[in-house]
Amino acid sequence: MAYSDYGGYAYKNGERVEERSDFTIMPDGSGVGTPGAWGGFAALAAGASPEEAKKFASYPQHHAVLGDGPFYVGLHKQTSTLLYLGQERLEALDYLDPSCADAVKSYEHDGNVRRYIDSDWSIDNGKPIVFNVDGNKIEVLYENTDNYYQYVKLTQPDGTIWTGFAGYGVGAGLEDADYGFSTDDCESALFDHFPVEAAQ
């Protein structure tokens, strides 16, 4: 069973990459997958000390992670899609494609105006929100079926295509959950949205 009610899967050129579920980005830019388990618990189970496990748990961890590195896209829960260069989190607004400018909303808090990307823009328009980072194109489509889900496509400069999904009651360790959408249905929706030929 997964460590929470949320999960996801990643695919490289159409093939599922199991170890990219519940994935931790390490300081050297590599990563460790613990499908169906929270990284901190997995580290303890592997014999790490509590201090080592706590340090490991402080690294970026997501339900699915796309990319060959050093650039990564982390899918967390239903609507958090995060961009990384190694472990450094990038400000997504800096990389938003101009065609998606209407997806940016703002609010005032403590006298400061804060801007954010509204996932409902994608849901309402049926269009992905697009980002471009150093030749990497990221397309994020959000849906609200029985709950919110995110479907993501990363096209790397070398033509490699990563896709993935994350949300409630789906993914590694939640394939047979009796709540949320179904993992099979999310996988089917992912490839309906972002068709990719399987690697040869």
- List, for residues 105-153, the tens digit of each pLDDT value: 999 999 999 999 999 999 999 999 999 999 999 999 999 887 889 999 9
- The pTM of the full predicted model, rounded to 2 decimals, is 0.90
What is the C-alpha separation between 64 and 41, in angstroms, rounded? 17
Find, among 157, 146, 153, the residue nearest to 193 by Cα: 153
What is the C-alpha separation between 67 and 187, in angstroms, rounded? 18
Domain parsing of the chain, residue ranges: 6-23+62-193
For residue 193, pLDDT over 70 is answered with: yes
For residue 199, pLDDT over 50 is answered with: no
pLDDT in tens, 68-86: 999 999 999 988 999 999 9
Provide the pLDDT confidence category of residue 32 given band limits of 50, 70 and 90: confident
For residue 94, pLDDT over 50 is answered with: yes
What is the C-alpha separation between 66 and 4, in angstroms, rounded? 20
What is the C-alpha separation between 110 and 54, in angstroms, rounded? 33
